[in-house]
Amino acid sequence: MDNLCFNCFFKYYHTCMILFTLLIIYAYHVFAESSVKSDEPDFDSLQKSDITVAATEPAYLHCKVENQGLYQTAWIRLADRQVLSVDNVLVTNDNRFQVSHRKLSNDWCLIIKHTVEKDSGMYECILSTDPPKRFSVRLNIVENEITISGSKEVHEGDTIIIKCRVGSVVHNGHLPSAVWWYANNTIISFIQNDRFQKSTQSVENGLVSELRIADARLWDSAVYSCEGNNTPRKFIEINVKGNDNAYSTQNGISKTQPLSSSANQKQNFSLENSL
């Protein structure tokens, strides 16, 4: 009886030892396999793959590689399959592009300075493994909002008031630092003409610039426009209407077309006397 119990215990102990040994071997292989996988180069799974930037602002496309080793990285633009860079060497002739990579850093950041709408699209960071590994980034370039408003018809002697509002469409985007005004595509000089005044104030997520032209005159009729340093230009046409008795219509001269110079007055006077 004792021998039988001993044999049963021995078989049970022997079986447990075999199972324990197999478990250790399995755990070792799992650990070894995971260690090999962790040593393989791969992209940081937490980096952004969708970026929105306001036009004219720089875009930063990050490519963080873990365990890169001796493998190379390259940036390409998918729209035209253009290779932009290999490691930190630029391949494109577009000087708006550059690659930033600090020593001992795992980030190969593609920078696009002064972005334009055509820069929108898909970009890929490629790792020279076999087969190559790819990390895709979608870049969205949007223009900041801008509106222009004002009375399109004013009477001579009134004050022309035009407002231009610019705002950022990108969360935490940079707002325009200045607003420029134009008349018939010529920038307005506020120093040379004291009838023209400009004021700018900050509002929620934007700027409002106001153009005032005192004592409106017929020749102030023009197409006015405004723009910020990262916005398109917006236009409005202002027509100054003359008062009924402001100008004489003698000699076929329109009351809405002031004489341009004293030379024209002399010429018209001579023509009248010659009739």
Q: What is the DSSP string of 54-103?
A: ETTS-EEE--BEES-TT--EEEEETTTTEEEEETTEE-SS-TTEEEE--T
CATH of 42-142, one of 3.40.640.10, 3.10.180.10, 2.40.50.40, 2.60.40.10: 2.60.40.10
- Tell me whether the CATH fold assigned to 42-142 matches the one assigned to 145-245: yes
Domain residue spans in the chain?
Answer: 42-142, 145-245
The pTM assigned to this predicted structure is: 0.58
Per-residue confidence in pLDDT tens, the chain, 275 aa? 555 555 555 566 566 666 666 566 665 555 545 444 457 899 998 999 999 988 888 999 999 999 988 899 999 999 999 999 999 899 999 999 999 998 888 999 999 998 988 999 999 999 999 999 999 999 999 887 889 999 999 999 999 999 999 887 665 566 677 889 999 999 998 888 889 999 998 887 788 999 999 999 999 999 999 988 777 889 999 999 988 644 433 333 344 444 333 333 333 333 233 33
Length of the chain: 275
Evaluate the CA torsion angle 255, 257, 259, 264 in order and state its sign: negative
Per the listing, tokens 């992209």 go with 43
Q: Which fold has domain 145-245?
A: Immunoglobulin-like (2.60.40)
